[in-house]
Structure formats: structure tokens, C-alpha cells
């Protein structure tokens, strides 16, 4: 199962916001840099570097919003062998094999994976923009864990075997 966490409508709205922010930062930083370089009599290198940094961040935001630098998809992928997810377009991808998951804690805001090595991985549902998609993600993980026989919230799940008798 594959769930796209950033539908195109929301991704386009986010890109518009990033473009507006980038234009604001680039224009403001460029004005501050020009003011520092040409119009002020006492040059302050700290102010000049800060305004150059703001200008650079603005131009980088504009480039990202115009798809010149591609961002990655935010998604959840559940297969019989593994669970993979990336919660934000700039975030890290997490790969969790089902064999390594010892237990699951599912709440309204977070899914906590307790792994065999003793490590804990958290999937924060609040990072997903739409509440309906966040609920869908948590329920899908819950059902997949129950199918695999992984204990959820301290309750051991025993996978049912199909009955041959009717």
C-alpha cells in the first residue's frame, strides 16, 4: 500500500507560500545588502554577511518553489516485508523491516515503533497536514501490525488462521 501524504493541491499551496516567502526574503535581503554596501558610510561586515545570507535563502526558496530543485515525496509505503515513510518533503526516509519491530504504541498523535535492537522510532502524525490522512496512516499501520502478530499498545495480537471447517 502506498499513501501520498502531500496531495497535489496542498503541495501547490505550499509552493506558493514558499515562493512568496522567497520573494520577500530575496527583496529584503538584497535591499539591506545594497544599503550596507553603497549607501552607508560606515561598513559593518556582520550586517553585510547577514543580509547576503537572507538574500541567498530567499533565492533558494524561489528556486525550490519553481521546481528547479526537486523535493522528494512525502509518503507511507507498507509491504509484507517492510514499512517505509517520509513525513516531509525535506525529511529523512525511514525504513523499518517488520521482523525488527518488537511492539507498537499507537496514540492519536504518534506511532512509536519499538525495535529488536532496543531503538525507538517515532512517526509523528502531527507532521501530516490533513487529519484524515493522518488517521488513515495510523489505522493502516495498526492493521498491518495486527496482521503480522506484533503487540499493539501492550496487547498481543494473534494472527487468525483460516478455518477449514464450516
CB 88 within 8 A of CB 75: no
Q: Which has the closest alpha carbon to 128: 32, 6, 1?
A: 6
User: First-to-last CA distance in the chain?
Assistant: 31
Q: Which has the closest alpha carbon to 65: 24, 26, 16?
A: 16
Is 153 a domain residue? no
Q: Which has the closest alpha carbon to 110: 75, 72, 153?
A: 153
Domain boundaries, position 116: 75-148
Statement to judge: residues 80 and 121 lie in one domain = yes
Is 136 a domain residue? yes
User: Final residue of a domain: which of 16, 33, 65?
Assistant: 65
Residue 39 — very low, low, confident or very high, per pLDDT cuts 50/70/90?
confident
Statement to judge: residues 23 and 46 lie in one domain = yes
Is 49 a domain residue? yes
Residue with cell string 545594497 = 34
**pLDDT tens digits for range 117-166:** 888 988 888 888 788 888 888 898 888 888 888 888 877 766 556 666 65
Sheet with strand 2-4: strands edge to edge: 2-4, 75-78, 82-86, 94-97
**pTM reported for the whole predicted model:** 0.66
Least confident of 26-30, 48-52, 106-110: 106-110
Q: Which has the closest alpha carbon to 100: 86, 111, 110, 114?
A: 114
Is 119 a domain residue? yes
User: Final residue of a domain: which of 39, 65, 91?
Assistant: 65
Is 57 a domain residue? yes
In the beta sheet, which residues pair with residue 104?
A: 113, 152
Q: Which has the closest alpha carbon to 88: 2, 1, 139, 14?
A: 14
Amino acid at each position: 500500500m502506498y499513501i501520498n501524504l502531500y496531495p497535489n493541491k496542498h503541495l501547490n499551496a505550499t509552493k506558493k507560500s514558499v515562493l512568496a516567502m522567497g520573494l520577500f526574503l530575496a527583496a529584503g535581503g538584497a535591499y539591506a545588502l545594497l544599503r550596507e554596501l553603497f549607501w552607508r558610510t560606515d561598513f559593518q561586515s556582520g550586517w553585510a554577511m547577514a543580509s547576503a545570507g537572507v538574500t541567498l535563502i530567499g533565492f533558494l526558496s524561489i528556486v525550490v518553489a519553481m521546481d528547479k530543485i526537486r523535493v522528494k515525496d512525502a509518503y507511507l509505503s507498507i509491504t509484507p516485508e517492510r514499512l517505509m515513510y517520509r513525513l516531509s518533503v525535506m525529511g529523512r526516509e525511514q525504513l523499518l523491516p517488520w521482523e525488527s519491530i518488537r511492539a507498537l504504541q499507537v496514540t492519536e498523535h504518534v506511532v512509536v515503533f519499538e525495535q529488536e535492537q532496543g531503538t525507538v522510532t517515532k512517526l509523528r502524525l502531527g507532521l501530516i497536514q490533513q487529519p484524515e490522512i493522518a488517521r488513515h496512516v495510523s489505522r493502516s499501520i495498526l492493521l498491518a501490525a495486527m496482521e503480522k502478530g506484533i503487540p499493539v499498545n501492550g496487547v498481543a495480537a494473534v494472527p487468525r488462521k483460516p478455518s477449514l471447517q464450516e
